[in-house]
Amino acid sequence: MATLGDPKKTIEILNKYHFVFQKKFGQNFLIDTHVLDKIIRAAEITKEDMVLEIGPGIGTLTQYLCENARKVVAVEIDKMLIPILKEDTLAEYDNVEVINADILKVDLNKLVEEKNEGKPVKVVANLPYYITTPIVMSLLEQDFPIKSITVMVQKEVADRMKAEPGTPDFGALSLAVQYRADTYIAANVPPNCFMPRPAVGSCVIRLAKKEEPPVKVMSETLMFKMIRAAFNQRRKTLVNAIANSPELSFSKEAVTAALVKAGIREDERGEKLGLKEFGELSDILFQRIGQKGEG
C-alpha cells in the first residue's frame, strides 16, 4: 500500500470517500514524507513505545507511527474520518486503535491505564491551529504518565513557547510551557507540505515533560493567576495588572510591598520577569495572605 505521504494517494482516498474538509475542525493533512520522517525522529519513537496520536486525520502520520511504535491509540474528533481510518488507511495494521472522541473530554489517566498498564506514553499530534494551545496546555497540566509531546504547531506559537523574558514573543504561554517542559524545535515546515495549504508556516516542536519544575512555589495556582494577570494587561505595570485582575484580590499596596521584598522594580512589567521572579513574588504574596487570596 502506498503511504499517504504521497499527495496522489491522499487525493485518491479523499475522492473515494467524497471527503469534505471541515473548516470547524481546521483540517490540514500532511503530504510530505520528509516531514513525516522528521516527526518520527523528533518524537524518538521506538518499538517499546505506546503513542497517543491526537487528530490522525486520514491516517497519514498514523501509518508512520504504526511502523515505528509498539502500539498507537489515535483519537479523532471527526466521525466522518473514522470509516476511512478503520476500513482503509489503517486496515492492515494490527497495532492501532482508533477512538472517535474529543481529546479535551477524554480521561487520559484511564486511557493510559487501560491501554498501556499506566506506563508513560509519547504524544504525537498534527493539531488544528485554533485549538493547539488549549490541547497542549491540557496535556501538560494533567497529571497523567507522559514522556513527551511532539506536535505540529503554527510557527508563531512555537516561537512563543520558546521565547525568553524581554522578547516580543514572550508571554503567559512561554512561562506555562517552560515550567512543565523542555522545548526543542525539530523542523520548520512550509505551507506546501499540507493539503489544503495553510496561510502560515509551521513547526514541529518537541516538549519533553520535566520531572521537576525549574522553580518550587507554595502555590502553582496563585503563580499562574499572577502570570495571566500580568500578560492579560501586558502594557500595564505589574502593580496595576495584578491589583486590577478579576482572578485576584490584592491591593496595590500589598503588590508594591511584595515587589520591593523580591527586589523587583515597582514600575516593572510582567514581560521582563522569568519563572524565578514570578515564583518569588507569588510566594511572598501567598505567605502574606495565606490561602484567602486577599491582601
Helices 33-43 and 60-68 pack at an angle, to 10 degrees, of 50
Confidence class for position 291, pLDDT limits 50, 70, 90: very low
Lookup result for grid cell 514572550: 170
CB atoms within 10 A of CB 206: 22
pLDDT digits 0-9 by tens, 111-161? 999 999 999 999 999 887 888 889 999 999 888 999 999 999 999 999 999
What's the CA gap between 90 and 94, in Å, rounded? 8
Q: Specify the higher pLDDT residue, 63 or 15.
A: 63
* Helix (H) and strand (E) counts in the chain: 12, 9
Q: Specify the higher pLDDT residue, 67 or 234.
A: 67
Q: Are 74 and 66 in contact (CB under 8 A)?
A: no
Q: Residues 89-116: what's their mean pLDDT?
A: 96
DSSP 207: E
pLDDT digits 0-9 by tens, 220-239? 999 999 999 999 988 899 99
Q: Which three cell numbers stand for residue 177?
A: 510551557
pLDDT higher than threshold 70 for residue 104: yes
Could you tell me whether strands 50-54 and 29-30 are parallel, antiparallel, or unpaired per DSSP bridges? unpaired
The helix (H) or strand (E) run that includes residue 138 is helix 132-141
The helix, strand and coil proportions of the chain, stated in percent and rounded to the nearest 5, come to 45, 20, 35
pLDDT higher than threshold 70 for residue 23: no
Q: Say what the pLDDT of residue 290 is.
A: 60
Q: Domains, the chain, ranges and CATH?
A: 7-209 (3.40.50.150), 220-289 (1.10.8.100)
Q: Residues 12-33: what's their mean pLDDT?
A: 80
